[in-house]
Structure 1
């Protein structure tokens, strides 16, 4: 194929170019998602978890599926789960930029707590599949078939949590309420807003496809394992929309959109594994990967648990005016990167 003939400098240039496209489009997506949250009445937490989470994850989905179809099981798997760890660390960066209070304190919302719990559940299933017997149905592991069912059912329950919560967080002066803006004249009709949002999503998907084709060529030419490329290069690059949209949302004061977008995107990222397992035709993808790939599932579960504790405790301020959980997230991610480098 055409990508096979590219030199290493050309591959690196192409990688950086697609990463730039993904980052720029991510800024515009945040604006449109915030407007849609107000126009539809869905709220920032649900819109961030579902609409923005899915949209910003599209490029990563394309990378994992394309890699799986090319027989690159390790790249497909590590891209999916490595992105979850990177995106959770992005919340710590957002906490640093939000100077009014700890971000987890300000974004208190039952829907966000629920989504983080759902994510922890879904991350445990691939771990169970990896440690269990090698079984498949038409080349797809039963866990891959179960993940979308849990996700869809989880979205339905999440909507109920927002519509009729059984408890509410204590409101403090630092708590940022999700109040929809009422002036939408400059935004155009809802249909035009949805069309513009959709166009941006398509661009993200095309950028993700190009990045996947480039990433497949990089391990051999750079002499590094596919797990490193997937977990630390494509995962971070395709997670740029989450970083950009999170920082942009915090600057707009839409803290529920920022936190909900990360957690929702991470939950949707678990479905990469279902799509990758379907695309991988040599059996169950969970038994075609190694310990280094599964390491990132453990990191993702650890970081999500830390985040969930921070959302429950709701510390107002911590060291350096960020939450203790944000400091812990950065330390865990940095430690995981160091471990990955050692394992490589």
Structure 2
């Protein structure tokens, strides 16, 4: 059997395992969100987002350690853009109303603002001068501190919100109602087991994808920003769709936002893992185009969550249509410049 055919079979098998485990993982997450009293939004940010980001973390850090700066940054930035596009896909699948209308919450607004703020930091690092003698850029520890402070703000917003969305017939609120009949230890064991299965499947999937792209000889920018980003983002797509199917809309939206915020930490980890200086200066500036697109899409989504349009073109919000359009245009423009 040829290496390319073997990689394709591994890719398909890992994808099926990821779908199966991801669906069950979301059900456990929804139950634990109530059981712990954290709510869907906070649980999605702290636990589910970290789990679904593991393939992104593995592929990006691996590329950074191999001194492939373009592949590392294009992979993680492309993944963030794709995750936002997934919300547009999720809005299409949710037919009752605009997803951003139904899943309105102060936590999701806070997450959107936090994501925009975090995305500006790596881009700021690109235009700052190199500091001799330091392999890690000063922006990297700032990213870590900003992320932790952002989590504090999100938790504060969850506990004592100062803004409330207007409830409509289409609004699906996150009502925290602990179910004491289920064993907490068993729930956590099941959740962590499914998380491990999802992570291993994601790792196999990522390895198979890298082998496929290696066999085809595609450039790093195209591989990282489009193909590897698509592969490593499959857990987010699977868990987001699964959350919508069980009616956990807040969990679906916060999972995407939380994953993207966590992925900024992955950027920081890539800078630490890159031993030839600052990764922000080693990469092609073209990679930051993905960051600009992510900021644009996040801002569009934030506007949509504030406006809360019930129905739009094709029964989806204007923000979903715009985000999908921006993603397609970005892929065309970036790949044409490779």
Q: Does 1:90 align with 2:86?
A: yes
TM-score normalised according to structure 1 size? 0.92
The CA deviation string for residues 69-88 of structure 1, in whole angstroms up to 9 with x for no partner, is: 12222221111111111111
**What is the match of residue 167 of structure 1?**
163
Report how far residue 50 of structure 1 moved. 2.1
Task: Evaluate the alpha carbon distance shift between residue 73 and residue 207 of structure 1 in structure 2; reply closer, same or farther with a 3 A threshold.
Answer: farther
Counterpart of 2:140 (choices 116, 138, 144) is 144
The CA deviation string for residues 119-161 of structure 1, in whole angstroms up to 9 with x for no partner, is: 0000000101112212377411111111111111111111111
Counterpart of 1:55 (choices 33, 51, 57) is 51
Partner of 2:96, secondary structure, is: coil
Report how far residue 195 of structure 1 moved. 2.0
Structure 1, unaligned runs of 5 or more = none
How many angstroms apart in 1 are the aligned matches of 2:163 and 2:43?
Answer: 20
Counterpart of 1:270 (choices 260, 264, 267) is 264
How many angstroms apart in 2 are the aligned matches of 1:136 and 1:147?
Answer: 20
**What is the match of residue 236 of structure 1?**
230
How many angstroms apart in 2 are the aligned matches of 1:138 and 1:24?
Answer: 44
Report how far residue 225 of structure 1 moved. 0.8
Q: Does 1:313 align with 2:307?
A: yes
The CA deviation string for residues 25-63 of structure 1, in whole angstroms up to 9 with x for no partner, is: 221221111011110111111112221111111121111
Counterpart of 1:45 (choices 41, 48, 59) is 41
Task: Evaluate the alpha carbon distance shift between residue 72 and residue 6 of structure 1 in structure 2; reply closer, same or farther with a 3 A threshold.
Answer: farther
Query: Is the CA contact 1:105–1:311 (under 8 Å) kept in the aligned structure 2?
Result: yes
**What is the match of residue 31 of structure 1?**
27
Report how far residue 208 of structure 1 moved. 3.8
TM-score normalised according to structure 2 size? 0.94
**What is the match of residue 131 of structure 1?**
127
**What is the match of residue 10 of structure 1?**
6
Task: Evaluate the alpha carbon distance shift between residue 12 and residue 341 of structure 1 in structure 2; reply closer, same or farther with a 3 A threshold.
Answer: farther
Aligned pairs for 1:162-311 (under 5 A) are 162-183=158-179, 185=181, 188-311=182-305
Query: Is the CA contact 2:52–2:235 (under 8 Å) kept in the aligned structure 1?
Result: yes
Query: Is the CA contact 1:50–1:261 (under 8 Å) kept in the aligned structure 2?
Result: no
- Aligned-pair Cα RMSD in Å: 1.9
- Runs (4+) of structure 1 exceeding 6 A deviation are none
The CA deviation string for residues 282-301 of structure 1, in whole angstroms up to 9 with x for no partner, is: 11111121133211111111
Counterpart of 2:114 (choices 107, 112, 118) is 118
